[in-house]
Structure 1
Amino acid sequence: MLALVVAVTVLVAGRVAAQPEAGTAPSPEPAPPLAPESSAGTNGPRELRGIDDVDARLVAEGRAHLAALEGRPILAVSVETTGSLFDAGKQTVKSVEIGRPLRAHVARAALRELLATGRYAQAYADARAYEDGVILRLVAVPRRIVAGLRVEGAELDVELMKRAARLDENSELTEASLEAVREDIAAFYRRHGYDHAVIEVEPSNTDDEMEVLLDITIDAGRRTEVTQRIFVIEPKLDRVVGKTKHEYEVDPGDPVDEDVLVEADNDMVERLRAQGFYDAQVKHRVVRRTKKDDTGTEAFLYIYLQTGPRYRFVFEGNKRRDDEDLANALGVGEGLVDTNQDALAERLVAWYRDRGFYDARVRAEHVSVSEGAQVELRFSIAEGSPVRVVSRLFTCLPQDAPDGFSADDLSDEINAVLEESLPDMPLFHAVDEPATDTVFRAEPVGGRAEARRLEPAATYTPEAYERAVEHLETLLESRGYLNAEVGPITVLRAECDPHARAGSCNPLPLPEIPPSACAQDGRGLPIAEAPLPEKFTCVPDPARSLRCAPELTLHIPVQLGPRMTLYDIVFEGNETMSAALLLLIAAFPLGSPFSNIELDAARSRILNVYKNAGYAYATVRTEVDYSPDRTRARAHFIINEHEPVVIEAYEVRGANKTDEDLILSRLALCRKLDECTEKERYYRQDLVRQSEEQIATLGTFSSVSIALEDPEVPQGRKRVIITVTELASQYIEPSGGFSTGEGFRVGFEYGHRNAFGQAISITARLQFSILPDFLILDDEVRDNYSQFTLSERLERRNTIAVRFPDIGLGPKVDLVLNGVDARDNQRDFGLSREALFPTLSYTPVREVTLQLGVSTEVNDV
């Protein structure tokens, strides 16, 4: 009975919120998962459906037959193909010698030869007994390459459709994968509301027997639209949510588009959280039903509003910080997600500590109101007084500490970390009233509010000092102290005299601090210090009237340990570069302080030199041998050069409007491969970066990248893929305005970034203004202006700029032609100006540009 009551209540709430026509909407179903699964929209490469997908049993049987007949002589080799759509032609295998005993490696060699032809996607081997020997059967799946796509009847974006179907030019196809393409396109259309779309995918042969032209015919049919919206929400929450639910972005009559619905769900979540429903989740489900007259499909959109209660924050006890500061600290304005009261209390405590209130305590209470539809989170805050770090006591640090590691140097390093980790005073902040009183007032004044001071260097939080300790350890390691020990940090804080006047603190003397052990093990390596006893750290306890001093001293042991130096460097695996050259490249001199940071930097320098020499797949790894006393280190650089990568061909992708020859002419790599030696065709990383920069200077691309084809597969000869993303070729920007000095003005700018596909940019700007008589207050000026014709009265500044990025002098030289047509009216005269400015620019390096220009002007006063 209880389940029935709940179901009826939810249904009534949905009807009240959505107000559907009576008897037309189906009953609401259970809420769907937050992220509905969909096969459409997958962007990864398609996994070809071959033999393993068609019938794994055949593959298993083939393996069993090979094992059972192993050792018998091979009498014949037959090649068979699956399917009937793609004809692979007659194929012979030459790697198998007739009469040779059947072995697994023989079958593998035959399969490798078959797949190396490029005609097949997958293949497996089988064997059949025949007379006194066997017949080796090779069963293969023919494949084709998509040379082009022809799409007819598309109602949606073709590029998005291709992405959803994981289909593009140069994609591989098998007979089985064609059906998968059709299913993916149909699913893509269904996802966007075309429930009855009919998709036909047919391959057509081309002049190349390995390539096909894919014809995709789409009959999208009528797009399904939302018939009604039904909001499913608990009645008590519905009263609090109110009209906000009607701001859901998808209305009746809108297409049933799954992507739009997901976006509408997310938008509604943001709206609800902005109103305090921080636990809000929104889901949807579309229920389709054939209309009674069979004229189409009705779609009922159920919107499940799982809002949770509306939260309200109440702060009590905060005297030095207002409610707005605390609400911002909790992230209320940013859409709070975590409403756990303990986590929020800890967040407030951390916020206070970052601002110097080390003793701050926060207690949170969860109070439900309006039958649980609203929740008050009440925070009881005990701020305490600001606490400052007045000194740092570095122990175990030698008197003659190395340069950069004195107590003052280490304090400076800690301060730098604290300034990055903790909040600092803003540029504009409240004036320190007590300080100004001492300057501008001689007589005593009443009480003043305590100024808000943020001093990161004088603030202590365990988290910030943990980062500071990590920084010090990294710094010491970079200088050769690999075994240095820093910490643990102990806070030294005295108790206040309980007999002192209220509001003041007279610190009691601390117990005598025991000297640090600064111990070492048998190898001379430092042993971590034990923390000081708790009696040195006062902890406030209001219940016992125990107060603590507002000044802290930090006890920080720092043990440097032995300094390690680089004793020797060994190179292994280097064949093309000598050890002396690599030692020079590493720039890690013997006898210098050893650090893993510098070791990795040296490894990177060596690797970069190899890549710049054409060894794109070279790897360099390091190993280190330490002496027993940890004062010397031998570094091993283990190099695997691989063979240099020779550029086999270039392929430009994404250049739909730009001439590919123009792009190739900007390469710093070998451009004409047939005219270059093999060494000149090496894929050099520095030339790759230079090529990317030179292509980018064409000015028509938003991004340029150059990479090897299938970069994860090491090969000696590779195709180079140049991928560009083109900007919009043309743009228009109108403008206008009014001012009493210039009058009415209007402007227009037109730009073409890629004229004729040669990256020639044309920018034309037209600007006109006219000053009406009623805005001219000086009679003499008004009389002078009255003598102008309308064309003279109309002030203008028209410019045109044409940039030629390629004028036959290389990618570092370009030519810009600037033309100006201007009219400027002064108090007593008007000036008309026509000018032409050709400018030749040469950029030898990125930071330097040399220009040579002339100007021709015609001025008329």
Structure 2
Amino acid sequence: MGVLLLLPALLASTLPAQGSAPPGEDLLGRPVTDVVVEGVDPASVGGIEGLDGEPLTRALVQRLIDALWATDRYRDVRVYAQAVAEGVQLVVHLEERRRIRTLEATGNDHMDLRELRRVAGFVPDAEEHPDLLEEMRGRIETAYATHGYPNAAVSFRSEETGEPGRVSLIAEVTEGEPIRIATVQLSGELLYPPPMLREILGIAPGDPWDQPALGRAAERLAQFYRGEGYLLAVVSEPVAVPRDAGRVDVTVTIDPGLPVRVVFGGQLHVSAAKLAELAAIDETFDFSPTAVGNAADRIAAYYRTIGFPEAEVSFDVVAARPTEPPPRTPFEDPAAWSAGLATLDPFGDWRGPGRPVAGAGTVWFLRFRVHEGTRRGVAHIEWDGVTAFDVAELGVLVAENVAAAIESHGSLLDTPRPGELAALGLSGEDRLTGPGASRPFLADWGPNRVFLEQAYRAAAVRIEERYRSEGFLDAHVTLLPPAHDATGAVIPRFRVQEGVQSMLAGIGVTGATAIPEEELLDVFLLEEGDPVNELLVEETRQAILDLYASRGYLYAQVERQVVFSDDRSSVTLRFAVVEGPQVRVAGIEVTGNADTATSLILGTLAFEEGDVFSPDLAEESERRLLRLGIFQGVTIAPVAPEVVEAEKTIAVQVREHRPQALELRAGFSTAEGARAAMSYGYRNLFGYAVGLNLRLKLNYRLFFLEDDAGHSFETDYHALSLQDQLERLLVASVAVPYLPGLRSLVGLQLDLANERKNRPSYGADLSSVFLGVSTGWRKLLSLVIQAGIEYNNLVRFEGDFELCSSTSTTVNCIRPDDLRRLRTPQGTSTFAVVRAAAGVDWRDDPFNPTRGLYLSANAEWVRSFDPVFDPSTGVSSFSHLIKTSFQLSGYAPLGAGLVLALAARYGQVFQLERGSRTFPDRYFYLGGSDTIRGFPQESLSVADAPGEFPTAGGDLFLIFRGELRIPVGDTLGFAVFSDVGNLWRDPDHFDFTVLRYTAGLGLRIQTPVGPLAFDYGFNLVPRDEWGEGFGALHFSIGGF
């Protein structure tokens, strides 16, 4: 017979003292034959597998309950046991926590959803509970009351979201009738027309009595007055007086105060605008004694940071008539200083109700008087107690700190304004400037020419860190009060207490069993005999943790154990490891994929159920998912990461892009005539990241401005068929980045293109179809292979056409983009093409690298289907070749932000059949920002060109590039570069000693899409017989 047992009796750590066994004692030891889940969907419950056949014990049940509690999904967990014929059936009763995924609202016409969530105090994933709902209801109704809806009522209902334990909470709002404003009265000294003030206030009869909005309106009106120069203006909180049950009368009281202007005087090395920025006086400023005093203190403190330790700033208030016309620069007015000494207590009668009445046109000036004092230079530095280092080395650290401080203070380079008041001949100048004031210049601000106390204090900390990096763990560096020499120059003084240098006498690991000690030692940044460096010790500890995490030991702990000798000269260092469990994937929860198949996401991950989980696998999985191009963001992390478990459910959260986009355009232009364009993209067909992109552009020429006396483009154009007259660009592509079983490591793409171009010199019809396979192994290796067919039909129109240049005398010239198309063989040609590209990337940043290596290799197999007939020569020829190129780039940081970039490139065309030739569209071309700077784009002639006939394009090239990148601030930088290389038409003519040399300078501007590069290269040895210039300007986005 079955016996129902409440299992807390089984969970007791000791049996109760009773005369007989507790209920169910007879069930212990029996095998578990079945587990039944009540209260929730059994399929959603994890952690109960594998119990069949195990004997029933208290430990087993405790482990089951702990696993269920750890998921944080359940409010209540109860386990019962029931005897069955073959053993025991466990009944698990679960009461699921209902968490609020999102808060929505209906009926909230006068409060937007974001504001409603804010006033409700909504926090995503809060547990749904009656007390919480009642608190949120009260907050929303109170907020409505302050907005003029005292009768608003709120109720809640829940909707399931499809996620276990997650609901969407709907706030159903009944706003009711608001209390409305009957009248708006303005009182006080208005100074401006009431209609204008009412417009600024933005409140009208009939509006709801919205108290927060009334407060914002009053502040808006106050800011208007302060912006007009009434810096002390006060607009009181609007007062509402009930008129009847549903209306109130609102009164706004305005006290504009007296007009006040802020001026600065006495400054020689800092502009008035900078002082105003430091004072931070605007329409929100509080004109209290503390606030104005703090403004003066900020100015004085700033002066001390830029080398004026004796600077003082005072302030007062005077009444004066402003200068007419007003000065061109703000915060300056000679009239303020001609008024003499202060005439009012700054915080007395100019603010109170008994303030004197200013005469017509008179204002109060708040004057800040700057007494800069003398800028103190540095004579030399005195050191006390330094024995372990050369004081010159420590002096370099100080100079670097001071130089950095100078660079961070852009105002040091403010244009000075010496003798501002003396030039005006006004009284008070003697109190504002000192004798001998002179205009500073850039060279005056070197580290040894100005004493910046804060920079020297920071240098003391840096020197102390330098000592500790060399094992002086008790070192202490103090900046003493400075001395002065006979000229008044500052003598900074550092006192150093070095202490004992501690050296590593032994280092090792304890408690490590999962990872061999040899592997752990490989990540150590210290070894026996090294000075004890606290930073390297901590980095080594973190490296051990990272190594364990990469093997799935997410909860490993590493503590450093340091044992000093009696005199602290030697140290034994041990890292004590508590490994914890190796975490495996118990399950995977995917959320956020409204349009994407869950199977695609699971198939793309670098792990699956049962695998060891590590942060490296999570990062790789995020990268693979983002590479699909359908997600804005991806986050992968264990559920309840703070709970230590050997098996974790992994949460995969994705944010999807909008699936499709359509753009239509139409218009007219003189260059293209009537035109229309369509662009359509769908990035996630069938939920499997299949991307479809279509682009169509059509135009029909109506104008022929290129016609001249020597050639009629219109005649050639209308001689074409209607199909060829219609210029077009059609591009279609289908991308399949995910193939089942390959975890997004391999993708396919099909590209089709057709283009028709008509120019005065030619008509071209170009078509191609390519199927490509691409792969990316982590971030290191990439490989792309494409195979396809190219079809070209190029007809050159009769006439002589020159290349477009600044000296061209006709519009019928050949532009650079036309020149590239004209390299295509004339007539009809069809080619089979197979391309392959591989790259290995060890760079720290592909857009702006500062360290690492990059290696790439490219190859292209080309074969013409039939011989290509050239109408200009009457000769047919064919191609069967392989075009190859290789690049190796390296980047090395040199310190102080300097980066040395080096690159070498080589390319060669190999003919695979006798008689095969390279058509011009597959030659290599040099010159430009991406090859050899100093030559215009693709203009460099081959080295084996005959005599005085320069010829671009060849079958072999070699390039060496070098660049020193020099940062100037966070966004600007300069570059010094040199490019060396050459090009040969016939590979047999290759001569390593015959190279072209260029050098130049460049400007770099950092942007989110990479650095903008402006380079000017100089052709160091121009060939006059080829008409080469002495250099060329280049622009590019990104660097090599």
Q: TM-score higher than 0.5 here?
A: yes
- Per the alignment, residue 804 of structure 1 pairs with 736
Distance 1:601 1:781, change over 3 A: farther
Identify the match of residue 549 of structure 2 among 611, 617, 631: 611
Distance in 2, matches of 1:418 and 1:223, equals 66
Query: How far 1:755 moved relative to its partner?
Result: 2.8
- Per the alignment, residue 473 of structure 1 pairs with 464
Alignment of 1:455 onto 2:404: no
Q: Is the 8 A contact 1:750 1:763 kept in 2?
A: yes
Name the structure where strand makes up a greater proportion of residues. 2
Q: Is the 8 A contact 2:406 2:412 kept in 1?
A: no
- Per the alignment, residue 657 of structure 1 pairs with 595
- Per the alignment, residue 714 of structure 2 pairs with 783
1:406-445 equivalences in 2 (<5 Å)? 406-423=390-407
Larger deviation, residues 349-358 vs 217-226: 217-226
Identify the match of residue 839 of structure 1 among 766, 772, 776: 772
Larger deviation, residues 804-813 vs 761-770: 761-770
Query: How far 1:588 moved relative to its partner?
Result: 2.2
Query: How far 1:649 moved relative to its partner?
Result: 0.8
Q: Is the 8 A contact 1:285 1:303 kept in 2?
A: yes
Distance 1:239 1:431, change over 3 A: closer
Alignment of 1:725 onto 2:655: yes
Alignment of 1:360 onto 2:292: no
Query: How far 1:836 moved relative to its partner?
Result: 3.0
Distance 1:623 1:310, change over 3 A: farther
Distance in 1, matches of 2:391 and 2:714, equals 79
Distance in 1, matches of 2:642 and 2:137, equals 30
Amino acid in structure 1 at the alignment position of 2:313: V
Residues 748-805 of structure 1: CA distance to partner in whole angstroms, max 9, x if unpaired? 5444333332223334445566776385574645634762788766655443443321
Amino acid in structure 2 at the alignment position of 1:350: A
Amino acid in structure 2 at the alignment position of 1:467: A
**TM score, norm. by length of structure 2:** 0.53
Larger deviation, residues 407-416 vs 586-595: 407-416
Amino acid in structure 2 at the alignment position of 1:314: V
Distance 1:303 1:584, change over 3 A: farther
Larger deviation, residues 313-322 vs 737-746: 737-746
Query: How far 1:334 moved relative to its partner?
Result: 11
Larger deviation, residues 196-205 vs 461-470: 196-205
Provide the aligned length of Structure 1 versus Structure 2.
666
Name the structure where helix makes up a greater proportion of residues. 1
Amino acid in structure 2 at the alignment position of 1:121: R
Residue aligned with 2:761, SS: coil
Distance in 2, matches of 1:801 and 1:299, equals 66
- Per the alignment, residue 635 of structure 2 pairs with 705
Residues 432-479 of structure 1: CA distance to partner in whole angstroms, max 9, x if unpaired? 99xxxxxxxxxxxxx995535573523322212111211121122122
Query: How far 1:687 moved relative to its partner?
Result: 1.4
Distance in 2, matches of 1:425 and 1:167, equals 43
Query: How far 1:175 moved relative to its partner?
Result: 6.8
Distance in 2, matches of 1:286 and 1:629, equals 76
Q: Is the 8 A contact 1:150 1:213 kept in 2?
A: no
Provide the alpha-carbon RMSD of the alignment: 5.7
Residues 400-446 of structure 1: CA distance to partner in whole angstroms, max 9, x if unpaired? x5xxx43333233223323333336979989999xxxxxxxxxxxxx
Amino acid in structure 2 at the alignment position of 1:480: G
- Per the alignment, residue 829 of structure 1 pairs with 762
Residue aligned with 2:368, SS: strand
Alignment of 1:715 onto 2:645: yes
Residue aligned with 1:340, SS: helix
Identify the match of residue 602 of structure 1 among 531, 540, 547: 540
Residue aligned with 2:542, SS: helix
Distance in 1, matches of 2:143 and 2:207, equals 18
Distance 1:622 1:795, change over 3 A: same
Q: Which runs of 5+ in 1 are unaligned?
A: 1-69, 79-86, 90-104, 125-139, 434-446, 496-506, 508-548
Residues 707-734 of structure 1: CA distance to partner in whole angstroms, max 9, x if unpaired? 1111222223221111122233334567
Query: How far 1:199 moved relative to its partner?
Result: 2.9
Amino acid in structure 1 at the alignment position of 2:640: D
Q: Is the 8 A contact 1:363 1:381 kept in 2?
A: yes
Distance in 1, matches of 2:531 and 2:394, equals 19
Q: Which runs of 5+ in 2 are unaligned?
A: 1-15, 25-37, 41-57, 79-92, 318-345, 354-362, 418-436, 796-1040
Distance 1:748 1:88, change over 3 A: closer
Alignment of 1:199 onto 2:199: no
Distance 1:225 1:709, change over 3 A: same
- Per the alignment, residue 295 of structure 2 pairs with 344
1:94-133 equivalences in 2 (<5 Å)? 121=75
Query: How far 1:739 moved relative to its partner?
Result: 8.1
**TM score, norm. by length of structure 1:** 0.62
Identify the match of residue 564 of structure 1 among 489, 495, 502: 502
Query: How far 1:598 moved relative to its partner?
Result: 0.9
1:506-545 equivalences in 2 (<5 Å)? 507=487
Amino acid in structure 2 at the alignment position of 1:588: L
Residue aligned with 2:529, SS: coil
Q: Is the 8 A contact 1:282 1:306 kept in 2?
A: yes
Larger deviation, residues 348-357 vs 367-376: 367-376
Distance 1:664 1:248, change over 3 A: farther
Identify the match of residue 785 of structure 2 among 848, 852, 855: 852
Query: How far 1:337 moved relative to its partner?
Result: 7.8
- Per the alignment, residue 955 of structure 2 pairs with none
Amino acid in structure 1 at the alignment position of 2:273: E
Query: Percent identity over the alignment?
Result: 24
Q: Is the 8 A contact 1:419 1:457 kept in 2?
A: yes
- Per the alignment, residue 316 of structure 1 pairs with 265
Distance in 2, matches of 1:737 and 1:275, equals 48
Residue aligned with 2:473, SS: coil
Residue aligned with 1:486, SS: strand
Query: How far 1:149 moved relative to its partner?
Result: 10
Query: How far 1:610 moved relative to its partner?
Result: 1.6
Identify the match of residue 589 of structure 1 among 527, 548, 558: 527
- Per the alignment, residue 773 of structure 1 pairs with 703
Distance 1:191 1:627, change over 3 A: farther
Distance in 2, matches of 1:737 and 1:272, equals 50
Q: Is the 8 A contact 1:233 1:306 kept in 2?
A: no
Query: How far 1:634 moved relative to its partner?
Result: 2.2
Distance in 2, matches of 1:812 and 1:626, equals 52
- Per the alignment, residue 626 of structure 2 pairs with 696
Distance in 2, matches of 1:766 and 1:281, equals 62
Distance in 2, matches of 1:602 and 1:269, equals 59
The higher relative CO (CA closer than 8 Å, separation ≥ 6) is in 1
Residues 242-281 of structure 1: CA distance to partner in whole angstroms, max 9, x if unpaired? 9578446787778899999999899889888877788999
- Per the alignment, residue 380 of structure 1 pairs with 369
- Per the alignment, residue 690 of structure 2 pairs with 760
Amino acid in structure 2 at the alignment position of 1:457: P
Larger deviation, residues 316-325 vs 303-312: 303-312
Distance 1:363 1:431, change over 3 A: closer
